Amino acid sequence: MIRIKFWPLVIKQVVRHRVRTLLTVAGVGIAMYLFVAIQAMQKGVAEATQASAADTTLVVYREDRFCPFTSRLPEYYLPKIKAIDGVESAVPIRVVVNNCRASLDVVTFRGVPRDQFADTIGRDVEVQDGSLDAWKKRSDAALLGETLAARRGLKTGDQFDAAGITAYVAGILASDHAQDQNVAYVHLDFLQQQTDKKLGTVTQFNVKVDDPSKLDAVSAEIDALFASAEQPTTTRSEKAFVAQVAGDMIELIGFTRYLGWGCLVAVLALVGNAIVLSVQDRIKEHAILQTLGYPSSLIGRLIVTEAVVLGTVGGLVGAGAALLTIRLTRMSFSVDGLSIPIDAGPLLLATGLLLSVALGVFAGLVPAIQAARRPIVTCFRAI
């Protein structure tokens, strides 16, 4: 790039037309805001649906059902599932949501037997605030995922209402697992009584296998076991389950990647336009610099640096604002009780910034080459 001693020259040129610069930076910022937000959604989808070699969780659901309101499985399936070779643990879960449609603010209750929580789901989560004992002791107690708690502004000791259920916050959970961050874990019997007015029916079973390589064999065996039962099952890995149940939404989010690319093209056009205008305004000045002995390559690099400054400042503002918004609002897409978090971290911020810099270079390249190649005398004559 250019030496530090030339930076004041670049900065003075960038702020020369303040309104133009502000508009360009604002445009780049908005485009990068959208880009980062879209990437955050894509990241959430990837985290929620892309299987990894370490996945060991299966979801047993009612065959041909995709909604927690219609998947009804007898709780007595549990010992039969546990008896299958390769099953490490299994937990019956009743799922109730306050809104069955796709939404950004869904409260998902998951009813889990109080004596099974610690040995199953509890192994993947950390109770950050409150305690598991407090949850066990109180029948209406709920352990909230940190995303849900933050979004609703709830803390330990609060009471909240959703889906016609009033629950007491006994603690806040932290988890790397997307599906645990946006739920309220309550006692299974409490949830059954609140919704069905009777015990014995669950929405699904979450099954842990003792070896990831056994996922397919165990799921096939579970489905075969209940194939002729009154409530036949379909068993899939948890991420495959999310991918299928939330398929429409995932497809929609997938489509937004084109909007993301559109944002990058917008950045390119905005910065390119600003630099082209700026260079056209300064044909004579570039000729003066060349007369003073500035080589063409340095003129070109000065122009590219101006474009990079515009792109970087806009990118920093936009990507930073997007990161802040996502972190503060803790939004996640929910459909049928499954969560797809909108998640942005420093890596996404760095990606946004890096892209802004790269786009700045590209946007400045053509006007820089044109300015550098223009003969000095022609520039003076052109004025």
Tell me the C-alpha distance between 283 and 378, whole Å: 10
Options 230, 293, 346, 347; binder of another protein; rule CB under 8 A: 293
Tell me the C-alpha distance between 61 and 179, whole Å: 16
> Does residue 281 touch another protein according to CB under 8 A?
no
Instruction: Write the binding mask 350 to 369 for another protein: x where contact by CB under 8 A, - elsewhere.
Output: --------------------
Q: DSSP labels for 215-265?
A: HHHHHHHHHHHTTTSSS-EEEEEHHHHHHHHTHHHHHHHHHHHHHHHHHHH
Structure tokens given for 99: 């809104």
> Does residue 297 touch another protein according to CB under 8 A?
yes
Options 290, 305, 332, 334; binder of another protein; rule CB under 8 A: 290
- Determine contact, residues 128/173, Cβ cutoff 8 Å: yes
Strand partners, 91: 206
- Determine contact, residues 24/270, Cβ cutoff 8 Å: yes
Which of 1/104 has CB closer to another protein? 1
Minimum CB distance to another protein, residue 284 (Å): 7
What single DSSP character describes residue 383? Answer: -
Options 10, 13, 276, 344; binder of another protein; rule CB under 8 A: 13
> Does residue 53 touch another protein according to CB under 8 A?
no
Options 9, 102, 252, 365; binder of another protein; rule CB under 8 A: 9
Which of 123/373 has CB closer to another protein? 373
- What is the β-pairing status of strands 165-174 and 141-145? parallel
Options 288, 321, 365, 369; binder of another protein; rule CB under 8 A: 288
Residue that has been written with the tokens 């908005």 in this structure: 30
What single DSSP character describes residue 119? Answer: T
Which of 223/285 has CB closer to another protein? 285
> Does residue 153 touch another protein according to CB under 8 A?
no
> Does residue 6 touch another protein according to CB under 8 A?
yes
Which of 15/350 has CB closer to another protein? 15
Most distant CA atoms of the chain, gap in Å:
92
> Does residue 280 touch another protein according to CB under 8 A?
no
Minimum CB distance to another protein, residue 2 (Å): 10
> Does residue 292 touch another protein according to CB under 8 A?
yes
Minimum CB distance to another protein, residue 55 (Å): 59
User: Left (φ > 0), alpha (ψ -120 to 50) or beta: where does 165 sit?
Assistant: beta
- Determine contact, residues 106/98, Cβ cutoff 8 Å: yes
Minimum CB distance to another protein, residue 362 (Å): 24
Residues that bind another protein (CB under 8 A): 5-6, 8-9, 12-13, 16, 284-285, 288-298, 375-377
